[in-house]
Structure 1
Amino acid sequence: MTDTPQTPRTTALDALHRSLGATMTDFAGWDMPLRYASERDEHNAVRTRAGLFDLSHMGEITVTGPQAAELLAYALVGNIATIGAGRARYTMICRADGGILDDLIVYRLAETEYMVVANAGNAQTVLDALTERAEGFDAEVRDDRDAYALLAVQGPNSPAIVKSVTDADLDGLKYYAGLPGTVAGVEALIARTGYTGEDGFELFVSPADAEKLWQALTEAGAGLGLIPCGLSCRDTLRLEAGMPLYGHELTTELTPFDAGLGRVVKFEKEGDFVGREALTAAAGRAETAPPRKLVGLVAEGRRVPRAGMPVVHDGQVIGEVTSGAPSPTLGKPIAMAYVDAAHAEPGAPGVGVDIRGTHEPYEVVALPFYKRQK
């Protein structure tokens, strides 16, 4: 018997994307816009003006009840109890052996209500893990993936655009905070979060309201350079900003400490949490004998490195590329890679990438490649 391929899921904006001439792609089981016209133009719009994204493939999971915070403190590596209402936190969910199941954003919506946002490809895994770990806690884990569409406005003009269609206090909304409000007449959770390295907002709304909101934002941004943007430029934007992508920089084979993100693990929190013992050992190893480190690589030539390509020094393999692409902002190819600690310092000599048998020279740099001016 052969498995019949699953039909990709579509977002509430599917027909609209097609009417705009989007090139669609299957991403984590969803039919998503890859680009509308030029991915370079879309990338540059986000860096200099603003871009509008459909991110409705992300996985929303609601955790409610008297022990919601305790459950999340046990299930995740972060200290969830210290998130204030209306705030958000970047964290991870790990296996008992410390391997990363997913990286997440957790929003505290109310005293005993949290929304966990997982990556599309891991949403079911995260839902299953939270459901299993909820046993014994007075808390409910609810799959809310069908309850939300998610639109994002990203870029330096995003505050002006969103302000023009809401009376919510955006000036008082800090980075990694969220508040309920009305945007273009639509009920929304307005979050000041993003995955581009720019200021911006992510708007969680009912799927029935998604098209109305998209059109209103498009009109509001017309004079401010807003254009629709696909997943292709989202990838080059996050790469320039040094942001990890699950399946590339983060996997079940790596702990947060291997990924250079040990800061998300909060050993000081009360009680046990899944992976504590393994992560304690991983933290010790990272201090005494650092594993490979995640670094930036900037090409001296024009050839583009891709995930899985070997990083080399004097003919020896010293690491592996995890993500690579042409950087519209830097004007040359860039990559993130895990390399042996001996070659991880910025400016380390003699480092190259083996691109189909040719050792192309690369400069080792500290991440991120790009940081916006505040």
Structure 2
Amino acid sequence: MGNLKRTPLFEEHVRLGAKMVPFGGWEMPVWYSSLKEEHNAVRNNVGIFDVSHMGEIDIKGKEAAKFVNYLITNNVEKIKHGEIVYSPMLNENGGIIDDLLAYKYSDTHVLLVVNASNIEKDYNWILKQSEKFEVNVTNISDETAQIAVQGPKAEEMLQEISGVDLKEISYYNFTEGRINGIKCLISRTGYTGEDGFEIYLDKEAAVPMWRKLIELLSKYDGKPAGLGARDTLRLEATYLLYGNDMTDEITPFEAGLKWAVDMEKDFIGKETLLKEKEVGIRRRLKGIEMLEKGIPRHGYKIFVENEEVGFITSGTMSPTLEKPIALAMLNKPYYKKDTEIEVEIRGKRVKAKVIKTPFYRGSVKNRK
């Protein structure tokens, strides 16, 4: 696995016997014991993930909030200090460069958390766009580690070593404080559909934090979890994966992210979305379920009679629902609920239908 980056916790994963795989330019654990065990531990109890491969880009300066508001489709100026927004970031053609979280410390400081495989691309894009604004853009990804603690028992377990009252942190809010005596940013967010926290800390402190959390897991029937469980958990909760369910050729409206677009403000790519609103979208990301045996996978073609009408963007066997589930990009008018379609699996067409999502709703808190 030459030239792959490693997180500060790489040796810890090896020590725990994890199966390591390449992911977005990084060598990451796909599982430790089994995907299913880790998935179920997070759904029912608690799991911890190394997400230090994610990127952190710091925006500071007089016009930080104003600049971020122009950069992304969601509205960072409408949220309070200590709150977070999820948002697509678009190119001039309205395609999604990345989806990210914007952490608003103040009007002069916003932290952007971006996808691992897009760090360099995003940083260069943000730097270029920042030229007209009074801001400093710093890529702090290499100094920052991130650990996600997810599951219905996440709060109870983390509270044991937290100097902060975690009950006081609402969903999509964050604070700074100490966990296990280590200074962190503590955020009530996650990518699993369960309640939980994402902890950002200095990379030098990652190993003692990870070891303490591993020690606590057994008490709560929890497990360390790899990318395999992270993917099945996020798909059940219908959280999108960049590169699969959205790309720089897919608009937020096509990806079903209209709720994360504020058309009342100005942002890069808005012109395309205005046109799209006028003429209507030509395709849409939707959930599907199989009516016959077969697991739909990324890239499989979808037909109605003999017309190709779309493709699978993400698909798996759901460990919680014990049936295959998938997201598909479907052409108009075939994305309507209950439309029957056929997925081509290994040369054979298998019946499926369009359904309402999310596929599964866990212990994740509601937005206020």
Question: In the alignment, is residue 321 of structure 1 matched against residue 315 of structure 2?
Answer: no
Q: Partner of 1:250: helix, strand, or coil? A: coil
Partner of 1:84: 80
The CA deviation string for residues 125-165 of structure 1, in whole angstroms up to 9 with x for no partner, is: 11111101111211100010012100001110101011111
Q: Which moved more, 1:103-112 or 1:228-237?
A: 103-112
Kindly state the Cα deviation for residue 316 of structure 1 after the two structures are TM-superposed: 2.3
Structure 2 unaligned spans of 5+: none
Question: In the alignment, is residue 304 of structure 1 matched against residue 300 of structure 2?
Answer: no
2:188 to 181, 189, 192: 192
TM-score by length of 2: 0.96
Structure 2 distance, partners of 1:294, 1:87, is 28
Q: Partner of 1:134: helix, strand, or coil? A: helix
Kindly state the Cα deviation for residue 109 of structure 1 after the two structures are TM-superposed: 2.1
1:77-156 residue pairs with structure 2 within 5 A? 77-156=73-152
Structure 1 distance, partners of 2:105, 2:213, is 24
Kindly state the Cα deviation for residue 344 of structure 1 after the two structures are TM-superposed: 2.2
Question: In the alignment, is residue 352 of structure 1 matched against residue 342 of structure 2?
Answer: yes
Contact 2:75 2:85 in 1 (8 A): no
1:292 to 283, 291, 297: 283
Q: Given residue 25 of structure 2, which amino acid in structure 1 is its aligned partner?
A: G
Partner of 1:276: 270
Structure 2 distance, partners of 1:131, 1:177, is 26
Q: Partner of 2:142: helix, strand, or coil? A: coil
Contact 1:51 1:227 in 2 (8 A): yes
Contact 2:63 2:107 in 1 (8 A): no
Q: Given residue 305 of structure 2, which amino acid in structure 1 is its aligned partner?
A: D
Contact 2:64 2:107 in 1 (8 A): no
Question: In the alignment, is residue 332 of structure 1 matched against residue 323 of structure 2?
Answer: yes
TM-score by length of 1: 0.94
1:253 to 249, 254, 261: 249
Kindly state the Cα deviation for residue 61 of structure 1 after the two structures are TM-superposed: 0.2
Q: Partner of 2:238: helix, strand, or coil? A: coil
Contact 2:154 2:195 in 1 (8 A): yes
Q: Given residue 304 of structure 1, which amino acid in structure 2 is its aligned partner?
A: I
Kindly state the Cα deviation for residue 120 of structure 1 after the two structures are TM-superposed: 0.5
Structure 2 distance, partners of 1:197, 1:127, is 28
Q: Partner of 1:343: helix, strand, or coil? A: coil
Partner of 2:163: 167
Partner of 1:180: 176
1:366 to 339, 356, 363: 356
Kindly state the Cα deviation for residue 302 of structure 1 after the two structures are TM-superposed: 3.8
The CA deviation string for residues 302-331 of structure 1, in whole angstroms up to 9 with x for no partner, is: 421111111122232221100011100111
Kindly state the Cα deviation for residue 90 of structure 1 after the two structures are TM-superposed: 0.2
Structure 2 distance, partners of 1:223, 1:365, is 39
Q: Which runs of 4+ in 1 moved over 4 A?
A: none
Count of residues in Structure 1 that have an aligned counterpart in Structure 2: 364
Structure 1 distance, partners of 2:237, 2:162, is 28
The CA deviation string for residues 149-198 of structure 1, in whole angstroms up to 9 with x for no partner, is: 00001110101011111021211111111100100111110000000111
Structure 1 distance, partners of 2:110, 2:129, is 16
Q: Given residue 344 of structure 2, which amino acid in structure 1 is its aligned partner?
A: D
Partner of 2:63: 67
Q: Partner of 1:10: helix, strand, or coil? A: coil
Kindly state the Cα deviation for residue 16 of structure 1 after the two structures are TM-superposed: 0.5
1:241 to 234, 237, 241: 237
Structure 1 distance, partners of 2:132, 2:347, is 55
Structure 2 distance, partners of 1:167, 1:34, is 31
Q: Partner of 1:108: helix, strand, or coil? A: strand
Contact 2:65 2:107 in 1 (8 A): no
Kindly state the Cα deviation for residue 6 of structure 1 after the two structures are TM-superposed: 5.8
Partner of 1:224: 220
Kindly state the Cα deviation for residue 360 of structure 1 after the two structures are TM-superposed: 1.1
Contact 1:302 1:332 in 2 (8 A): no
Contact 2:47 2:151 in 1 (8 A): yes
Structure 1 distance, partners of 2:231, 2:279, is 31
Contact 2:245 2:255 in 1 (8 A): yes
The CA RMSD over aligned residues, in Å, is: 1.4
Q: Which moved more, 1:334-343 or 1:127-136?
A: 334-343
Q: Given residue 272 of structure 2, which amino acid in structure 1 is its aligned partner?
A: A
Q: Partner of 2:59: helix, strand, or coil? A: strand
User: Quick one: percent identity of the two aligned structures?
Assistant: 38
